[in-house]
Amino acid sequence: MMALAGVGLWFTRGRTRWLWFLLPLIIGYSRIYLGYHYPSDTLSGWLLGGLIAAVVILAARRFAAPTKDIEPRADELVEESSHKP
């Protein structure tokens, strides 16, 4: 779940992007509270998931081809409309 949170954080923009970390924290806490896992199991899962997310993000940055914005920004639209006769 922590790997999902890390990758979700990378793809999300804005203030709500930190909510991705709430999911694995709540699930991990519930596993400890219900007695299904020891705290060390949950902590090591969080650390391993964070490490996997970091590796995936670094690999994506290294091997992904740079792309341009698909949609023009709002300021580009204003500039284009002002140049039309």
Residue 19: predicted pLDDT:
78
pLDDT tens, residue by residue, 26-62 = 888 999 999 999 999 999 988 898 888 888 888 888 8
Angle at the Cα of 16 from the Cα atoms of 6 and 77, rounded to 5 degrees: 105
Residue 50: predicted pLDDT:
84
User: Higher model confidence: residue 77 or residue 50?
Assistant: 50
Q: What is the DSSP string of 7-65?
A: HHHHH--SGGGGGGGHHHHHHHHHHHHTTSS-HHHHHHHHHHHHHHHHHHHHHHHHHSP
pTM to 2 decimal places: 0.61
User: Higher model confidence: residue 80 or residue 26?
Assistant: 26
